[in-house]
């Protein structure tokens, strides 16, 4: 037995291995045994006595750079293995006489090479001898590269300085796919197109369904049927595989045949499971599974599933938790406002991940804000409220956070329907008068309808949270005793009355509880601490029956301002659980600095925040939780996040999950 070669080659689509070995055969000079990319063994009779020096290599004069490189690689390999340097020529003006031996690489002017190429599929290739020519042809440049690699590894006999010429029919590789025939409701799947229904996103840089459409199209070509199913920009006549990730049932998903189409649907989070269910359950495809079979899909193959998200607490459980934390000196719940996502993540997971990266812990509370999604904020939405895709992202990632024991809060930077801010910031401007405010709060007026329109995205969000059974913190009209938002007490030369401010709160309460029927909200009254330029912290307080939690927003200049004008003392006098509803360094204040690149950072860190919280507890102020702002003012952005999040008094997501498990 004469061992000629034993090699492994990685096939570009299935990542399978080819091996080859040679032994003497009684019927010919030798036999090569190949294990090909389909996992099948093939015996090839070869002639081992043809001297390599008698050949030249030929390619097309108009060959692509890839084919040129392949021909050059063959020449180089022959030189390295046998020491013979063959001529490499092109088919331009080259005469191929009957006695000239050639290794033909790819399709050339030679009619036989063209005939072979036309007979091959995209992933197929052949190595065969006809006359004085040895043809190495692929159905594509990729498969030609595979054929050349196989030739180099298994058909060059370096001991004899010869080429192992395949006799008779040579060697043909025809790639097998998962399905010889795949139909959906009797229609060949090759007649379908793929349509990604989610076309617009404000808050995410990547739309998942676009990515899945590309993956699915490639999978059909490379693994499933050997044909690339096109991606359509819109749906028309015909049959479609429709991908959509806008579901508001956070953990539900489905794959179904309906009206001649296949629908792969879920939420922003559950679309991953829906896509995988289509491939692995409906099609039954596995990388190492059975190949070459027929599958006829019908509606009986439809799939529905769930990720199994749960809500591990009730609204009362949350109230009890905040009450316990408020009364405790060694329990403060961590939280952060969420900020913009990236790389396919929404604001929710992006914030949690950033804080985890900075501290090794995840925050217990995440606060959402979709107020910028408004017809009155054209920069973001071009005249639309929140997109279905972004809404699903907020809701489904919130449900995922809650399922792990986390808490969701909602506040609103409401867009001003009057659009009269001098700096064009959507949440600034003014109402101008008490009469305008009263008109806006009167059901049925044009201004009341405008107010409801600007709140549409927020109402959609909290409705979806409630539909998923999620109790949530609701913090409308935050910092209402200041003068920097259009809903504030101070309107320049005008101050809105106490009654109007209280009625503004009651407007929210009526819409949410009576009109929308939502009972899962924990209402948080959160004025700014009274810095001397604000109204009293209780000026807009609507009454105990409308509030569950109280707190102050406190942006510090490094002093202990939180109780200026008895702000926190008065808040606590309501008897409700109290919190630092927003806390951090004052923007542009004494605690801001500029680095060498001119970028602003803050010298007040999470360690300072922890000290401030402990000072408040020492002074008998009740702090059930805190929320930082976003970006550079967030837990992740302020620095020393690990000191804060790993302190023994700070409750993180893991701590809440442990408490939820105890409740069970």
Question: Is residue 172 scored above 50 in pLDDT?
Answer: yes
Copy the structure tokens of residue 613. 């919280």
8: pLDDT confidence band, cut at 50, 70 and 90? very low
339: pLDDT confidence band, cut at 50, 70 and 90? confident
613: pLDDT confidence band, cut at 50, 70 and 90? very high
Residue 661 main-chain phi, psi, to 5 deg: -65, -35
User: In terms of Cα–Cα distance, which of 500, 491, 580 is closest to 540?
Assistant: 500
pLDDT in tens, 441-471: 999 999 999 999 999 999 999 999 999 999 9
Domains of the chain: residue spans and CATH:
43-173 (3.30.379.10), 179-306 (3.30.379.10), 315-663 (3.20.20.80)
If you average pLDDT over residues 150-172, what whole number do you get?
A: 86
pLDDT of residue 15: 30
Question: What is the spatial distance between Cα 218 and Cα 230, in angstroms, rounded to a whole number?
Answer: 9
> pLDDT exceeding 90 applies to what percent of the chain?
70
Give 249-299 as a 3 state SS string.
Answer: CCCEEEEEEECCEEEEEECCCCHHHHHHHHHHHHCCCCCCCCCCEEEEECH
pLDDT in tens, 492-510: 889 999 999 999 999 999 9
Of 520 and 20, the structure prediction assigns the larger pLDDT to 520
> Measured between alpha carbons, how far apart are the two ends of the chain, in Å?
71
pLDDT of residue 21: 59
Question: Is residue 342 scored above 60 in pLDDT?
Answer: no
If you average pLDDT over residues 402-424, what whole number do you get?
A: 93
pLDDT of residue 663: 66
If you average pLDDT over residues 328-338, what whole number do you get?
A: 96
| Range scoring the smallest mean pLDDT among 465-469, 470-474, 587-591 | 587-591
380: pLDDT confidence band, cut at 50, 70 and 90? low
If you average pLDDT over residues 331-356, what whole number do you get?
A: 83
Name the DSSP letter for residue 478. Answer: T
pLDDT in tens, 118-133: 988 888 999 999 988 9
664: pLDDT confidence band, cut at 50, 70 and 90? low
Question: What is the spatial distance between Cα 387 and Cα 201, in angstroms, rounded to a whole number?
Answer: 6
1: pLDDT confidence band, cut at 50, 70 and 90? very low
Spatial neighbors of 350 by CB under 8 A, at least 6 apart, are 338, 339, 340, 341, 342
Average pLDDT taken over every residue of the chain:
89
Residue 541 main-chain phi, psi, to 5 deg: -60, 120
Q: List, in sequence order, every residue forming a beta bridge with 166; answer none if it has no partner.
A: 46
Question: Is residue 472 scored above 90 in pLDDT?
Answer: yes
Of 374 and 478, the structure prediction assigns the larger pLDDT to 478
Question: Is residue 661 scored above 90 in pLDDT?
Answer: no
| Range scoring the smallest mean pLDDT among 90-94, 108-112, 416-420 | 90-94
224-262 burial, b for 16+ CB within 10 Å, e for fewer? bbbbebebbeeeeeebbbbbbbbbbbbbbbbbbbeeebb
If you average pLDDT over residues 201-220, what whole number do you get?
A: 85
pLDDT in tens, 263-322: 999 999 999 999 999 999 999 988 776 655 899 999 999 999 999 999 999 999 999 999
Q: pTM of the prediction?
A: 0.84
| Range scoring the smallest mean pLDDT among 4-13, 291-300, 370-379 | 4-13
Residues in the chain: 664
CB atoms within 10 A of CB 378: 13
Question: Is residue 14 scored above 60 in pLDDT?
Answer: no
Contact by Cβ (8 Å): 538, 490: no
Question: What is the spatial distance between Cα 554 and Cα 613, in angstroms, rounded to a whole number?
Answer: 12
Query: CA 149 from chain center: how many Å?
Result: 37
Helices (H), 441-516: 446-454, 456-467, 498-509
pLDDT in tens, 194-210: 999 987 776 655 789 99
Of 45 and 79, the structure prediction assigns the larger pLDDT to 79
pLDDT of residue 43: 81
If you average pLDDT over residues 4-25, what whole number do you get?
A: 39
pLDDT of residue 554: 97
pLDDT of residue 227: 86
Helix, strand, coil: what percent of the chain each, to 5?
35, 25, 40
Spatial neighbors of 431 by CB under 8 A, at least 6 apart, are 418, 437, 440, 486, 491, 494, 496
pLDDT of residue 98: 58
If you average pLDDT over residues 48-65, what whole number do you get?
A: 90
Place of tokens 């542009």: 588
Residue 425 CA: distances (Å) to CA of 215, 413, 432, 437, 526: 40, 10, 17, 20, 22
Copy the structure tokens of residue 601. 């950072």
Question: What is the spatial distance between Cα 601 and Cα 607, in angstroms, rounded to a whole number?
Answer: 15
pLDDT of residue 313: 95
User: In terms of Cα–Cα distance, which of 461, 582, 440 is closest to 512?
Assistant: 461
| Range scoring the smallest mean pLDDT among 16-30, 61-75, 233-247, 571-585 | 16-30
pLDDT in tens, 524-579: 999 999 999 999 999 999 999 999 999 999 999 999 999 999 999 999 999 999 99
pLDDT in tens, 150-159: 999 888 888 8
373: pLDDT confidence band, cut at 50, 70 and 90? confident
Residue 142 CA: distances (Å) to CA of 67, 123, 453: 9, 8, 56
């Amino acid at each position: 037995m004469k061992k000629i070669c034993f090699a492994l080659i990685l096939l570009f689509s299935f990542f399978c291995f080819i091996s080859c070995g040679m032994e003497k055969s009684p019927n010919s000079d030798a036999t090569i045994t190949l294990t090909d990319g389909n996992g099948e063994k093939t015996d090839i009779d070869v002639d081992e006595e043809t001297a390599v020096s008698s050949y030249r290599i030929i390619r097309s004069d108009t060959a692509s750079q890839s084919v040129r490189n392949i021909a050059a690689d063959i020449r180089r390999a022959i030189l390295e293995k046998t020491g013979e340097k063959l001529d490499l020529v092109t088919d331009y003006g080259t005469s191929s006489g009957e006695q000239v031996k050639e290794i033909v690489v790819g399709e050339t002017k030679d009619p036989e090479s063209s005939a072979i190429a036309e007979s091959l599929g995209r992933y197929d290739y052949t190595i065969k001898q006809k006359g004085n020519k040895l043809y190495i042809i692929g159905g594509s440049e990729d498969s030609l590269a595979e054929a050349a690699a196989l030739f180099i590894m298994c058909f060059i006999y370096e001991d004899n300085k010869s080429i192992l010429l395949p006799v008779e029919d040579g060697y043909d590789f025809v790639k097998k796919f998962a399905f010889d025939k795949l139909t959906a409701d009797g229609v060949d799947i090759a007649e379908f197109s793929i349509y990604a229904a989610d076309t617009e996103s404000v808050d995410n840089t990547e739309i998942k369904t676009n990515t899945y459409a590309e993956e699915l199209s490639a999978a059909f070509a490379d693994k499933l049927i050997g044909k690339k199913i096109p991606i359509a920009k819109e749906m028309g006549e015909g049959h479609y595989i429709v991908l959509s990730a806008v579901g508001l049932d956070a953990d539900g998903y489905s794959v179904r045949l309906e009206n001649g189409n296949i629908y792969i649907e879920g939420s922003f989070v559950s679309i991953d499971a829906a896509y995988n269910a289509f491939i692995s359950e409906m099609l039954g495809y596995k990388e190492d599974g059975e190949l070459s079979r027929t599958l006829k899909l019908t509606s009986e193959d439809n799939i529905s599933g769930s990720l199994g998200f749960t809500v591990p607490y009730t609204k009362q459980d949350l109230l009890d938790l905040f009450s316990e934390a408020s009364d405790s000196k060694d329990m403060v719940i961590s939280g952060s406002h969420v900020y913009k996502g990236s790389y396919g993540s929404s604001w929710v997971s992006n914030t949690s991940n950033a804080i985890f990266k900075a501290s090794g812990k995840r925050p217990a509370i995440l606060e959402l804000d979709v107020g910028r999604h408004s017809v009155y904020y054209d920069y973001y939405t071009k005249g639309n409220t929140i997109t279905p895709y972004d809404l699903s992202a907020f809701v489904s990632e919130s449900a995922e956070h809650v399922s792990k024991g986390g808490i969701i809060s909602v506040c609103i930077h409401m867009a001003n329907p009057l659009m009269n801010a001098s700096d064009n910031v959507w949440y600034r401007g003014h109402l101008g008068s008490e009469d305008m405010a009263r008109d806006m709060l009167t059901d049925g007026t044009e201004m009341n309808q405008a107010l409801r329109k600007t709140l549409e995205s927020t109402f959609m969000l909290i409705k979806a949270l409630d539909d998923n059974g999620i109790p949530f913190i609701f913090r409308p009209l935050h910092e209402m005793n200041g003068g920097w938002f259009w809903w504030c007490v101070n309107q320049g030369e005008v101050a809105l009355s106490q009654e109007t401010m209280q009625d503004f709160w009651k407007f929210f309460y009526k819409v949410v509880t009576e009109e929308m029927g939502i009972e899962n909200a924990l209402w948080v009254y959160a004025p700014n601490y009274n810095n001397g330029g604000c109204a009293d912290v209780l000026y807009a307080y609507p009454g105990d029956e409308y509030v569950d939690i109280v707190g102050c927003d406190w942006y510090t200049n490094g002093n202990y301002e939180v109780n200026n004008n008895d702000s926190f003392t008065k808040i606590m006098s309501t008897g409700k659980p109290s919190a630092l509803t927003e806390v951090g360094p004052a923007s542009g204040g004494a605690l801001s600095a500029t680095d060498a690149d001119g970028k602003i950072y803050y010298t007040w860190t999470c360690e300072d925040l922890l000290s401030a919280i402990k000072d408040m507890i020492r002074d008998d102020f009740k702090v059930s939780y805190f929320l930082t702002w976003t970006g550079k003012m967030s837990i992740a952005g302020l620095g020393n996040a690990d000191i804060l999040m790993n302190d023994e008094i700070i409750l993180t997501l893991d701590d809440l999950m442990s408490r939820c498990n105890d409740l069970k």
